[in-house]
Amino acid sequence: MNLIEGRKVSKEILLKLKDQVSGLINKHIHPKLAVILVGQNPASLSYIRQKQKACSDTGIEWEQFDYDEEVTTEQLASKVHSLNEDPDIHGILVQLPLPKNVYAPEVLKAIEPKKDVDGFTAYNLGKMFLSTEFEHLTPCTPMGVIQLLEYYKVPIKGQEVVVVGHSNIVGKPLATMLLNRDATVTVCHVHTKDLASHTKRADILCVAVGKANLITAEMVKEGAVVIDIGVNRIKGADGKEKLVGDCDFENVSKKAGMITPVPGGVGPMTVACLMENTVKSAKRLNNLT
Ligand code: NAP
């Protein structure tokens, strides 16, 4: 088994971005990310810290707008509209999940597609549907997975790829991006009748569900590349909380040819791709690409 070291790859990406940000600052363009956070969800706070650190590592400016859970859809959409108009802001990120009283699609819809660094607007998702050439601001987690596969020279074209999970932010866009690269893609979800019959065929198995130990060694083909995207907080044997993915890592890693660890696999790549998107947006908004 070989580990796919997302943390290492993400550091290389951030280092390259730091140079690009310096170059932009020399041209009096300071890439800046605006972040909207609602409430104090512990997972969201942890993601926000990681993203803020990556901004500070690369030199991207960070401005955070905090709201309490009583905020309305209209108030958030109005904030997004004002950030759309602000020439100093190059990327807008609305940290998900939003509380139940807010209609998230309406808030995301308000984001100007050129500043949509999470790649969640219908415009950017729709463009991505056409081909790799139109993948401009793509959702960060799927992009992180693609970059990991490319970095480790895992062939995608013609491979049997199984994606477990079909959310709009991970599973579906990942399946589309793999299809754009000529993989034969099967997408599984909660209604899939015999999950193992699909996962066992996969040359590349990508799992984004949010259920610890969903994927056991018996469900994985010998030598497969396993990309574990899930993040689950569970209690370890010592009673302390720990992060695990959706795969039974100890046993799946003995059978897989390559596997991403959790933490340290896809997570840091998601953050690195967010930084990439912010730099891309800053360049494009200043007509540099
Ligand atoms: P989500 O919106 O809850 O989607 C989960 C998906 O899994 C849904 O498509 C669901 O199907 C499917 N599913 C649920 N139970 C299943 C089962 N028993 N068998 C097969 N499929 C099942 O979650 P998400 O936002 O896509 O995130 C998925 C996981 O990835 C979470 O653990 C999240 O924390 C993690 N994540 C990690 C990163 C990262 O950077 N590492 C980024 C984003 C998300 P239905 O919709 O039909 O119920």
**Do 72 and 149 sit in the same domain of this protein?**
no
Amino acid code (one letter) for 210: G
What is the domain range of residue 81? Answer: 28-112
**Do 171 and 241 sit in the same domain of this protein?**
yes
**Which member of 20, 32, 79, 95 is catalytic?**
95
**Do 248 and 165 sit in the same domain of this protein?**
yes
CB of 263 within 6 A of ligand 1: the answer is no
pLDDT value, residue 289 = 81
CB of 141 within 6 A of ligand 1: the answer is yes
Residue 182 annotated in active site: no
**Which member of 118, 203, 228, 248 is catalytic?**
118
Of all atoms in ligand 1, which is nearest to the CA of residue 211? 32
As a whole number of angstroms, the distance between CA 154 and CA 144 comes to 14
- Residue 208 domain-assigned (yes or no): yes
- Residue 12 domain-assigned (yes or no): no
**Do 260 and 160 sit in the same domain of this protein?**
yes
- Residue 129 domain-assigned (yes or no): no
- Residue 132 domain-assigned (yes or no): no
- Residue 120 domain-assigned (yes or no): no
Which residue from 190, 199, 227 has its CB within 8 A of the most atoms of ligand 1, so it is best to mutate?
Answer: 190
**Do 248 and 160 sit in the same domain of this protein?**
yes
- Residue 46 domain-assigned (yes or no): yes
**Do 182 and 248 sit in the same domain of this protein?**
yes
Strands 32-38 and 232-235: unpaired
Residues 6+ apart with CB under 8 A from 231: 43, 210, 243, 245, 262, 263, 267
Angle between helices 6-26 and 266-285 in degrees, nearest 10: 20
Token pair recorded at residue 145: 């997975």
Other C-beta atoms closer than 10 Å to the C-beta of 127 total: 18
CATH for 54? 3.40.50.10860
pLDDT value, residue 193 = 98
Strands 232-235 and 241-244: antiparallel
Residue 201 has φ and ψ, to the nearest 5°, of -90, -10
Query: Are residues 281 and 117 in contact, defined by beta-carbon separation less than 8 angstroms?
Result: yes
**Cα–Cα distance list, 209 to 56, 92, 228, 265 (Å):** 31, 26, 9, 15
Residues 6+ apart with CB under 8 A from 244: 212, 213, 230, 232, 234, 262
pLDDT value, residue 262 = 97
**Do 99 and 41 sit in the same domain of this protein?**
yes
CB of 198 within 6 A of ligand 1: the answer is no
- Closest protein CA for atom 21 of ligand 1: 189
pTM summary value: 0.97
| pLDDT tens, N- to C-terminus, the chain (289 residues) | 699 999 999 999 999 999 999 999 999 999 999 999 999 999 999 999 999 999 999 999 999 999 999 999 999 999 999 999 999 999 999 999 999 999 999 999 999 999 999 999 999 999 999 999 999 999 999 999 999 999 999 999 999 999 999 999 999 999 999 999 999 999 999 999 999 999 999 999 999 999 999 999 999 999 999 999 999 999 988 999 999 999 999 999 999 999 999 999 999 999 999 999 999 999 999 999 8
Other C-beta atoms closer than 10 Å to the C-beta of 16 total: 14
As a whole number of angstroms, the distance between CA 281 and CA 91 comes to 7
Nearest to 189 by CA among 210, 167, 165: 165
**Do 89 and 175 sit in the same domain of this protein?**
no
**Do 108 and 206 sit in the same domain of this protein?**
no
In the chain, how many domains are there? Answer: 2
CATH for 198? 3.40.50.720
**Which member of 20, 32, 51, 255 is catalytic?**
51
CB of 95 within 6 A of ligand 1: the answer is no
Amino acid code (one letter) for 286: N
- Closest protein CA for atom 6 of ligand 1: 165
- Residue 287 domain-assigned (yes or no): no
**Do 262 and 147 sit in the same domain of this protein?**
yes
As a whole number of angstroms, the distance between CA 179 and CA 258 comes to 21
